[in-house]
């Protein structure tokens, strides 16, 4: 295997199929993603209840310490341990992300399924509105909603959910339309099932896997969105600090030359995002190997 690979490498591009991903790197990527995601989720779920440490514990004698063994991520400008702050911040970010992604998926699935199931002018009208609303940049719409409703946890969740349901609605509608052409739907309709029953019992279960995948992929997106809002000072209140708040708070010390309060919260956003993207990519390769090179962005 190694020899063959080396030989292929030497001969260059000429006789080599494109996308010659080796199996080993794929499994490695899958395992790394799964491990990273597990560690992240476990840390977020277990550390706060199990570890009796106060993330808000101020220690002015140890302020702005560079990373060392006592504080692996260093301390912030009032001496709080950044590793602990990051874990708590990720907890907040993840909770908001999951809540927003779930809300968006429920709304998007309902709208998409309704459009697909009714068809006709309902479908056309709804999808035109979806098209129109997706012309507004997400963050701008989010900023508008948060500004109008004042910063807080629920406005942030609402602002992310209200901007992200559009893509789910499109996916679900397309899936419903393709399901409607299948024989088992015809069978249900000729068996006398009502439109409601066909939609709930036969169409919705069929679109759930797609909707679930979309929801999982949306979580990092929602986390990103939330941290951007918090960074602009329009997101969560500072006493429920998310990763975005941490980066925002670190701006002062960054300008004084301390890089660690900025660097680590950002890494806490990147790692789960990459892990989810890796898992989703692996999942897609498995259900559709032919299109393995397709991008997951």
Partner 1 sequence: MTGTVRRLPWGAMARLAGRRALFAVPVVLVVTFGVFAIAAASPFDPVKAYAGTAALGADQETLDRLRENLGVDQSFVVRWWHWLTDALTGDLGHSSVLRQPVTQVIGERLVWSALLCAVAFAVAVTVGTLLGVLAARRPGSMPDRAITSLAYTLEAAPVFWIALLAVWLFALQWDVLPAGGLTDTASEQVTAGQVAGHIVLPAGVLAVSQLPWFTLYVRQGVGDALAEDPVRGARARGLRERTVLLQHALRSGLLPVLTLIGSRVPELITGALLVESVFSWPGIAAATVEAATAVDFPLLAALTVLATAAVLAGNLLADLLYGLFDPRVKLNEM
Binding site for partner 1 (CB under 8 A): 9, 12-14, 16-22, 25, 128-129, 131-133, 135-141, 143-150, 220, 224, 227-228, 231-234, 244, 247, 250-251, 254-255, 257, 259, 262-263, 265-266, 269-270, 273-274, 277, 293-295, 297
Neighbours of 213 (CB within 10 A): 15
The CB-of-89 to partner 1 minimum distance in angstroms stands at 13
The CB-of-50 to partner 1 minimum distance in angstroms stands at 28
For helices 82-118 and 153-180, the axis angle rounded to 10 degrees is 40
Beta strands in the chain (DSSP E): none
The CB-of-178 to partner 1 minimum distance in angstroms stands at 23
Contact 277, 296 (CB under 8 A): yes
Phi-psi domain of 179 (left: phi exceeds 0; alpha: psi -120 through 50; beta: other): alpha
Which residue number, 108 or 265, has a Cβ lying nearer to partner 1?
265
According to DSSP, the residues that pair with 115 across neighbouring strands are none
Contacts of 272 (CB under 8 A, 6+ apart): 36, 37, 40, 90, 94, 220, 223
Which residue number, 17 or 50, has a Cβ lying nearer to partner 1?
17
Which residue number, 29 or 173, has a Cβ lying nearer to partner 1?
29
The CB-of-140 to partner 1 minimum distance in angstroms stands at 5
The CB-of-188 to partner 1 minimum distance in angstroms stands at 35
C-alpha distances (whole Å) from 210 to each of 113, 127, 205, 214, 279 are 12, 19, 10, 6, 15
Which residue number, 36 or 189, has a Cβ lying nearer to partner 1?
36
Which residue number, 116 or 278, has a Cβ lying nearer to partner 1?
278
């Amino acid at each position: 295997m190694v020899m063959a690979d080396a030989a292929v490498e030497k001969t260059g591009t000429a006789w080599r199929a494109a996308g010659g991903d080796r199996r080993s790197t794929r499994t490695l990527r899958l395992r790394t993603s799964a491990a990273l995601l597990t560690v992240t989720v476990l840390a977020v779920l277990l550390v706060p209840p199990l570890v009796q440490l106060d993330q808000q514990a101020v220690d002015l004698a140890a302020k702005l310490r560079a990373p060392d063994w006592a504080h692996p991520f260093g301390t912030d400008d009032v001496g709080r341990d950044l590793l602990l702050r990051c874990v708590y911040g990720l907890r907040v970010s993840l909770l908001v992300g999951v809540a927003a992604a779930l809300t968006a998926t429920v709304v998007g699935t309902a709208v998409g399924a309704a459009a697909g199931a009714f068809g006709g002018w309902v479908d056309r009208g709804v999808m035109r509105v979806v098209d129109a609303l997706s012309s507004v940049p997400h963050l701008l719409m989010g900023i508008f909603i948060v500004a109008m409703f004042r910063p807080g946890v629920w406005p942030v969740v609402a602002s992310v959910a209200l901007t992200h349901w559009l893509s789910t609605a499109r996916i679900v509608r397309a899936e419903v339309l393709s399901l409607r052409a299948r024989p088992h739907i015809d069978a249900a309709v000729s068996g006398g099932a009502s439109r409601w029953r066909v939609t709930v019992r036969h169409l919705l279960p069929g679109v759930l896997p797609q909707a679930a995948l979309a929801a999982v992929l949306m979580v990092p997106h929602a986390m990103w969105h939330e941290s951007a809002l918090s960074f602009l000072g329009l997101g969560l209140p500072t006493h429920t600090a998310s990763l975005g708040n941490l980066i925002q708070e670190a701006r002062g010390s960054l300008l004084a030359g301390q890089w660690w309060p900025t660097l680590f919260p950002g890494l806490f956003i990147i790692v789960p995002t990459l892990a989810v993207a890796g898992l989703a990519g692996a999942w897609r390769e498995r259900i559709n190997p032919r299109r393995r090179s397709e991008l997951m962005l």
